[in-house]
Amino acid sequence: MRVLVTGASGQLAHAIRQVWSDHDLVLPEEAILDLSQQSAIHSVVSSVRPEVVINCGAFTQVDRCESEPELAQEINATAVGWLAEACEAQKAMLIQISTDYVFDGTGTRPYREDDPTNPVSVYGRTKLEGERQAARCSRHLIARTSWLYDAWGKNFLNTMLNAAAQGRVLRVVDDQRGAPTTCRALARQLKVAAEQGWQGLVNTTCAGETTWHGFAQAIFKGRGIAADLHPCTTADYPTPAQRPAYSVLDGAHRRSLGPDLMPEWEAALREVIQRPVL
């Protein structure tokens, strides 16, 4: 398949570059495939003529979205509509990466794809609008994921490791629950989904759940680091954007569609630690 990937400099695009190596990948620099420019999107998609477009590009700085809502809307929502139009013109499939932050976090069981959404942040609201825009493309797959990280890129894993290396005292939130998900696991699942023609809305997170503090503990244990780590509450660590307290996603629908390549989050973390380079 000829596959066009947006957000080429990001951590998920890096994983796709490695995992999808048996496909014809095109990853333009963001200056060329500029998601803020409708003309650039249509020009690149029409010239590449992809069978699949994976939209890894997004404004993911959750707190910054609160102070720059117009930019968040443009990149996370409006641009997805432009991609959907361009894909429709080429009869291409659009794979849109979405987020657990479309939920408000008041649930007590893993969220299913058909559960009501109620985002509590600008980031969550614009990503939900991005889902709606992606659905304008006849062939679309909306992949909701959560807490993305890997051995590369800017993410929680590397933030924790860098902070510990500096000998800092770490206070990490212990009352927000979710599922840490590796970029490589998500890239593998998306590859199978595209090859088998999955469509619609699918939860694509690693299995199980933990808190950010529990995730940090597992990182340091896996690396054999004696970090000065302490739990705290969300109230102890106020941020501009509200986060859902509980955003675990149910994987039953995904497992009904075909091969489930999303491992338990602990197993995924072990792979990253033991094999940092793909």
Is residue 223 helix, strand or coil? helix
Catalytic site includes residue 123:
yes
Q: CA nearest 100: which of 110, 92, 108?
A: 110
Q: Which of 123, 149, 237, 246 is catalytic?
A: 123
CA 184 to chain CA centroid, Å, is 11
**Which stretches of the chain score pLDDT less than 70?**
none
Contact 189, 148 (CB under 8 A): no
Q: Domain residues of the chain, as ranges?
A: 2-154+180-207+247-263
Alpha helices by DSSP H, the chain: 11-19, 38-48, 62-67, 69-73, 79-90, 122-134, 156-165, 183-196, 212-223, 252-257, 265-274
d(CA 177, CA 233): 12
CATH code for the structural domain at 2-154+180-207+247-263: 3.40.50.720
pLDDT at 62: 98
Ramachandran assignment for 168, one of left (phi > 0), alpha (psi -120 to 50 degrees), beta (any other): beta
Residue 7 sits at the vertex; the CA angle it makes with 5 and 9, to the nearest 5 degrees, is: 110
Phi then psi dihedrals of residue 99, to 5 deg? -145, 155
Q: Name 5's bridge partners.
A: 54
Nearest to 196 by CA among 188, 206, 184, 208: 188
Q: What is the pLDDT of residue 238?
A: 93
Q: CA torsion, points 42, 45, 46, 48, in degrees to nearest 10?
A: 150
CA distance 21 to 18: 6
Buried-exposed string 85-105: b where 16+ CB fall within 10 A, e elsewhere: bbbbebebbbbbbbbbbbbbb
* 5 neighbors 27 (Cβ within 8 angstroms): yes
Burial class (CB in 10 A: 0-12, 13-18, 19+), 139: middle
The candidate with the shortest Cα–Cα distance to 51, out of 82, 15, 92, 22, is 92
Which pLDDT score is estimated for 244? Answer: 98
d(C-alpha 207, C-alpha 197), whole Å: 23
